[in-house]
Amino acid sequence: MRRLLYSQRLAPYLFILPFVATLALFWIIPVARSVVMSTQEVLYGQTTSVGLDNYARLWNDSVFWTAMFNSARYMVLSLALLIPIPMLLAAVVNSRIGSPRVKAFFKASLFVPALTSVVVAGLVFRLMFSESENAVMNQVLQLVGLGPVRWLREDLTGLVALLALAVWRWTGVNTMYFIAGMQSIPEEYYEAASLDGANKRQQFLRITVPNLRPTIVYVTTISVYGGLAMFLESFMLYGGNASPNNQGLTVVGYLYRRGIEQNDLGFASAVGIVLLVVVMAINITQLTLSGTFRKEHVR
Amino acid sequence: MTAAPARPRPASRRPSAADPAGRRRAPRGVRALSALQSTALVAIALVALVPLAAILVATFQSGADIMRGGITLAVDPATLRLDNWTMLFTDSGPYFRWFANSLGVTVVQVAGTLLVSSFVAYGFAMYDFRGRTPLFIAVLAIMAVPFEMVMLPLYVQVNEMGLADTYAVIVIPFLAAAVTIFFFRQYFLGVPKEILEAGRVDGVTEFGIFFRLVLPIARPAIAAMAILNGMMCWNNLLWPLLVLRSSEKFTLPIGLNTLITPYANNYGLLIVGSFFSLVPILVLFLAFQRFFVEGMTAGAVKG
């Protein structure tokens, strides 16, 4: 026992033991199980092997493709909004001009939405985007002379509400990421550039953006999985897993519907495996293209 | 980092010495730009606060009106009432039970996660051992794989083992949390190795060195991770929603979720309860803002 406590050779294994156990019990076994279940039909505790039938059903299932389309659309649009906008805001906050007091207030106000739970955020947005003409968003439209919109009843306006929720909750956090990234760029780069006569816009595009690459890669990686695995935002916004023509149904929402609500575990597992493969494929491609693996390798 | 508007810029950042006109005009231009910038930032900040202001106002309106008409900005002050707040504190059924459950689960889970994850991180940061690189890659991989991927098989597993409806199942799978391990590892990498050597010379065990010498100096990292985990745990919905069955065990987000019914009688409590659920986290945020930002942006720390 004494030897064990003092051994520098054994100690590291004891330190990482909780992680190894977690990895095995709560990640590797469940994923392996998911793979197995996806080739089975699981009904009332009876399992029958059905080969790749679940995947074939999936391929021919139009609701699955609707969910896939919704998730992909949401991921792409949230990336398109939640990287450039926070980057610009970070550049503004990080600039030398302006009052520090105003900037502190700005940062705190943008960060607060990230503190709200998805239940509360979804509820508030559901009620702001209510189809009643007195609800907040329709009042805003009225100011510019537009009629009341039945927000969550239509596909496109429902998407607007969902993206508004995402932008509201995550702009602040992403802005903080970019501010942190910008503060690690050496001031000399900018001094050299302004000596060479580069204007602010050129400096932003030629110095800030390229030097932010690690931050951009990180934010992209988490946004890809966050976007494709999005479920609760839509679930809370639409007040449940049902929405007109499944316009709010996401891949995880479909997994939840088939696996938990309808207890079709084999089929739901196939949905999960497909999603896992898609997320991994996109992120590995993205990390390879951005050269992140190469750099890690050299180090 | 940010300078007061009146402060002159360092010489090297001035446009060009050959352009005296430009140099003379700069301060006035900068002042105008600065005012413009401040206006824009304040405007955006206010827009970001609208949803919270809207729900605060809604807590003073009748639940039936909210359900029918949504949240509105044009409120007739004469219609505002304290009914919902009175209900919250006198007749809110299981609300404060859920609140207490959430508080309890959050405290236990945060304490456990900090202890276990920092313990693991110390192993990764301080020792060279066979298998370290692949295992650390596994930490990074888990950070990039959504929990939603394993939620279904884990749910099946929990049901088979008869562990549904227990808090243990909510807490245990997340004690060795990838992001928290990653953050602590980065922090421990900066701790001088001499501390370890000194401890060994004094006859302290490897674990004693961690608990008695290293953990006490990791306070800033502990604070940031306490806030991050506390927030995630307080707001956690999906996994507890799958695992917990009995109403008296519900945490606050699940409880609030059950109030979302097509019947208006719950709406007053739902609104005021939702707003009240934000209070602990907002108070913590105002007190420890720096740690919130550090914790939330922890993943981006470069290794």
Per-residue model confidence as pLDDT tens for chain A (299 residues): 677 778 888 899 999 999 999 999 999 999 999 999 999 988 777 888 888 999 999 999 999 999 999 999 999 999 999 999 999 999 999 888 888 899 999 999 999 999 999 999 999 999 999 988 888 899 889 888 888 889 999 999 999 999 999 999 999 989 988 998 888 888 899 989 989 988 888 988 999 999 888 889 888 888 888 899 999 999 999 988 888 999 999 999 999 999 999 989 999 999 999 999 998 898 888 888 877 666 544 33
pLDDT in tens, B111-152: 999 999 999 999 999 999 999 999 999 998 888 777 888 899
- Name the amino acid, one letter, at B199: G
pLDDT at B12: 42
pLDDT at A96: 83
User: What percentage of chain B reaches a pLDDT higher than 90?
Assistant: 53
Q: H-helix or E-strand containing B214?
A: none
pLDDT at B123: 95
pLDDT at B7: 40
Of A113, A172, A231, the CB nearest to B148: A231
3-state secondary structure of A49: strand
Residues of A within 8 A of B128 (CB-CB) are: 12
**Cβ neighbours of residue B180 closer than 8 Å, sequence gap 6 or more:** B113, B114, B117, B118, B121, B225, B228, B229, B298
* Pairs of CB atoms within 8 A across A/B: 299
Q: Which residue has the tokens 């060195």?
A: B209
CA–CA distances in Å: residue B20 to residues A42, A193, A198, B17, B25: 80, 20, 18, 6, 9
The whole-angstrom separation of Cα A126 and Cα B274 is 13
pLDDT at A222: 84
Contact B214, B195 (CB under 8 A): yes
What is the distance in angstroms between the CA of the first residue and the CA of the last residue of chain B?
24
Contact A114, B296 (CB under 8 A): yes
Nearest residue of B to residue A13, measured between CA atoms: B123
- Going residue by residue through chain B (303 aa), what tens digit of pLDDT does each one get? 333 344 444 444 444 444 444 444 457 778 888 888 999 999 999 999 999 999 999 999 988 888 888 888 778 888 888 989 998 999 888 999 999 999 999 999 999 999 999 999 999 999 999 999 999 999 988 887 778 888 999 999 898 888 899 999 999 999 999 989 998 998 899 899 899 999 999 999 999 999 999 999 998 889 888 988 998 899 999 999 999 999 999 999 999 998 887 776 788 899 999 999 999 999 888 888 888 877 777 666 543
Which residues pair with residue A41 across a beta bridge? A48
> From the candidates A26, A225, A263, which should be mutated to test the interface with B, based on the most B CB atoms within 10 A?
A26
The whole-angstrom separation of Cα B177 and Cα B295 is 13
State the nearest Cα–Cα gap between B84 and chain A, in angstroms.
16
The whole-angstrom separation of Cα A256 and Cα B252 is 21
Of B38, B72, B208, the CB nearest to A98: B38
- Domains of chain A, each with CATH number or no CATH: 38-298 (1.10.3720.10)
pLDDT at B96: 94
The whole-angstrom separation of Cα A78 and Cα A220 is 10
Nearest residue of B to residue A269, measured between CA atoms: B152
Residues of B within 8 A of A221 (CB-CB) are: 144
pLDDT at B220: 86
pLDDT at B11: 42
DSSP state of B248: G
pLDDT at B26: 54
CA–CA distances in Å: residue A197 to residues A69, A84, B83: 46, 25, 64
Nearest residue of A to residue B37, measured between CA atoms: A98
pLDDT at A289: 84
Nearest residue of B to residue A107, measured between CA atoms: B45
Q: Which fold has domain B93-300?
A: MetI-like fold (1.10.3720)
pLDDT at A293: 65
